[in-house]
Structure 1
Amino acid sequence: MEQNYKEIAIKLFKQGQFELAKISLSMAYNKLPSDELLAFIEFCDIAKDNPNDAFSLFAIYFDPAQDDNTQIFNEMIEIMQSSAQESNMEIESQNAITYADFKNLLNENNFKSLFESILFSTKIIIMHKDELFELVNFLVDNGFTEIGLKYLEGSTKMFAGDERLAIMLEKIKDKDENSLK
């Protein structure tokens, strides 16, 4: 039974599973290379950082009123990439680091000393929900419970319906109760 990897990728993309969609598109590309598939593969990478924009572009691309949206789609990918580059330049100019860079520094330092050294001078830029949950976990585990809670409170819209929020809040509550004993 022959798989239509592009159709599978589209379904995965609609579910927000960008990495799996990218894998499926890569398999489709291996079977039948095309510029369109290459653009979609790149689009999956971009979607990880900007899911809302990606879903909007995705809807435009699959607009049945358009005959061929490939050129429009490629132009939109270029716009999103230049926006990401501008964002990186802004990060560099602001005394900020991405969470990925912060994690790389963790390989050489322990969390508590690293976080304390940048706490007042550097912003940590969070790009994904997973990064935020990981950071909050590190904060709670290392005695920075209040700061972790502030990160969560500042991002409540991002977590609407995410069951990890309730788990994290329970963990914070347990930490607070244990510290009072």
Structure 2
Amino acid sequence: VISIYPGRDFFDDSNGSLRPLLPADAAALAKQGFVDSVSPEVSTQDSIRFRGKSATASINGVGRNHFRVNGIRLLQGTLFHDDRSALQEVIIDENARKALFDEAGLEATGQTVIIGSVPARVTGVARNDNRSGTPDRISVWMPYTTVMYRMTGRPELSSVSIRLR
């Protein structure tokens, strides 16, 4: 997996003059012959709430192929129906499921949670993504357009992840 970020190198701090990564960049990369799959990505952090429960979550706006690109397995449910229409859908990890639904004895899929101020229907539960080294961290994944337009208000990507053939 290769991740591409804005700038010339990892330590490029010329903030004002950087050309932002845009969804069109991810689409252009996806057309390359050496590319298996691509995921546009934008990230933020906010609360996730369900009934009386609340937790801080890493919110990952991603493309439909994110789970293939990064080898993250769904334990329940389905992927997003569309990643380009700012749909209010979310896939939560096991930590989010435990924090929000276990005590109530409810299935997570099909429930509506509030992420920041955005209501979203849980379409799936994914295996915890512990690559950050923080096993208790709560991660959720939404279509990248949902995070860009409904949460951050910026039409730019944080990164693009690529799985090579």
Give the structure-2-normalised TM-score.
0.24
Instruction: Identify the structure with the greater strand proportion.
Output: 2
Instruction: Identify the structure with the greater helix proportion.
Output: 1
Rg larger for? 1
